[in-house]
Amino acid sequence: MNPTYTLLEMRRITRNYTNMFFTAVLPAFFYIIFGAATDYKNENIGNGNVAMYIMIGMAAYGAVIATTNIGGNAALERQQGWGRQLGLTPLTDAGYIGMKAVIAMTVAAIPIALVYVLGVLTGAKGSPMAWLVSAVVCLLASSIFALYGLLVGTALPSEAAVGAASGSIVIFAFLGNLFIPLSGVMLTIAKFTPLYGYAGLARYPLTEGYLVDGTQDPLWLPLLNVLVWFAIFGIGAVYFVRRGRERQ
């Protein structure tokens, strides 16, 4: 990996103020509206309160948006010829992927940090372990959606691919129990969607798997969801990347 190139990429991404707004500021705004400003934010839930429950969901949403965008942009860069330009430099494919991974994790940490700081300032409460583990899970598990961005970016080779990937994340967030607590048939459907396991795993240190409707998810359920979607996104990304090379 080339530190200079990594820093230049970070500077380029953070200077895109529109993307940074939707990545960092919008999840923080959602937390204030749906969490900090509500009358029920101090009600107990698991090892903390409702404000922290919503805080984790909004942090997870921001992290996923960040990694999806970076994965999608990486795919488009290679399809538009940037990969061939980099091939003239000492930067290897492994170095390129490593650099993008570092950038994705760094950018994903921004909305998590911002939302968690707001949580501290607005009365989100939970055990120290819940704060630590939920933040780590939000950050590390969000890397799965870099594969999703890569998959969509290679499957739909156009600039609209990144927008499509980010837009679909909003739908997945509603279906994945991030924004509105689901119940009944919708909750059953949600358990098969990509963000359900990720959000459930991040919230598990707080809720111990208990949902708003009183039911409890065993730990293996969100873990299985995450692993299955990781495999689907990974296999899909590899397939479309190889198909793109064959076309060339």
Q: How high is the pLDDT of residue 7?
A: 82
pLDDT digits (tens, 9 = 90+) for 82-100: 666 666 666 666 666 667 7
Condensed to tens digits (0 to 9), the pLDDT of residues 188-205 reads: 999 999 999 999 999 999
pLDDT at 247 (0 to 100): 52
pLDDT in tens, 18-44: 778 888 889 999 999 988 888 888 888
DSSP-assigned beta bridge partners for residue 48 = 45, 126
Please count the other Cβ atoms lying within 10 Å of the Cβ belonging to residue 248: 7
| Distances, alpha carbon 16 to alpha carbons 9, 62, 99, 118, 169, in Å | 11, 16, 19, 23, 20
Instruction: Collect the ranges in the chain with pLDDT lower than 50.
Output: none
Q: Do the beta carbons of residue 126 and residue 211 sit within 8 Å?
A: no
Distances (CA, A) of 141 to 64, 71, 115, 195: 9, 14, 17, 10
